[in-house]
């Protein structure tokens, strides 16, 4: 079974400052890794995914994440945030093998302050 | 291409009633998964359907059920509603079962009073 820990439930940051949202996972098998964003009263939108290959993945809206296998981490970063980035961010994993569902972290609420 | 649609968007029910939620996947997608989102428990997997068959099931009581039709549209049903069933119910579609990329709908906000 897999599990995901998002280390910060809330992250306040000033506009144009950099941000890092932390995600650690636990799994006995290889996994795919995802970051989703949820804006108020909306569903989840895929920001980026790691399937294989380069450990640095770039997503939409200027976000990127780095897969670190030894640390079992997949932290999300953005060099300069905007007010519009205020949302809930979810890290998720899915096993390579078998028919297993996405397992989500509890989410991190990013609040960008003007 | 139209995204995942869910109806209704908002629903208020009374404890003890039952409710049916509907999800239409992206055209060509044959797998539909359902998730429950609450402030306390976060996002929890309910079940996945592919080719009208349930392929995977989360740890929810039997009051939660679902089905999928031949056009890939899916419904989930919750019987004997409890206050704790108040949540945002999200549907996600993917091309086939086990496919890594899922696309989410806007959700149905269910309030049980």
User: Each residue of B59-110: pLDDT tens digit?
Assistant: 999 999 999 999 999 999 999 999 999 999 999 999 877 777 889 999 999 9
Contacts of A101 in chain B (CB under 8 A): 33, 45, 48, 56, 58
Q: Which two tokens stand for residue B76?
A: 């989930």
Phi, psi of B85 (to 5 degrees): -80, -5
Give pLDDT, residue A99. Answer: 72
Contacts of B4 in chain A (CB under 8 A): 43
To the nearest whole Å, the CA of B108 is away from the closest chain A CA by 9
Chain A residue closest to B37 (CA)?
A: A106
User: pLDDT per position in chain A (114 positions), as tens?
Assistant: 889 999 999 999 999 999 999 999 998 888 899 999 999 888 999 999 998 888 999 999 999 999 999 999 999 999 999 999 999 999 999 888 767 888 999 999 999 999
A47, A36 contact by CB (below 8 A): yes
* Burial of A84 per CB tally in 10 Å (0-12, 13-18, 19+): exposed
Phi, psi of A102 (to 5 degrees): -65, 140
Contacts of B107 in chain A (CB under 8 A): 42-43
Give pLDDT, residue B1. Answer: 67
């Amino acid at each position: 079974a897999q599990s995901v820990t998002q280390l910060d439930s809330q992250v306040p940051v000033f506009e144009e400052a950099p941000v890092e949202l932390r995600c650690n996972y636990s799994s006995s098998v290889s996994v795919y890794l995802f970051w989703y964003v949820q804006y108020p009263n909306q569903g989840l939108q895929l920001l980026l995914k790691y399937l294989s290959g380069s450990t640095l993945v770039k997503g939409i809206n200027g976000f990127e994440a780095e897969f670190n296998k030894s640390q079992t981490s997949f932290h999300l970063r953005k060099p300069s945030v905007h007010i519009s980035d205020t949302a809930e961010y979810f890290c998720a994993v899915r096993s390579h093998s078998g028919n297993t569902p996405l397992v989500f972290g509890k989410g991190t609420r990013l609040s960008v302050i003007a | 291409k139209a995204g995942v649609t869910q109806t209704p968007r908002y629903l208020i029910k009374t404890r003890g009633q039952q409710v049916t939620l509907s999800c239409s996947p992206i055209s060509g997608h044959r797998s539909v998964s359902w998730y429950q989102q609450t402030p306390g428990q976060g996002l929890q997997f309910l079940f996945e359907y592919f080719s009208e068959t349930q392929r995977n099931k989360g740890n929810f009581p039997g009051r939660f059920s679902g089905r999928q039709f031949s056009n890939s549209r899916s419904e989930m049903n919750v019987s004997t509603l409890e206050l704790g069933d108040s949540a945002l119910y999200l549907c996600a579609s993917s091309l086939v079962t086990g496919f890594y990329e899922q696309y989410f709908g806007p959700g149905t906000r269910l309030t049980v009073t």
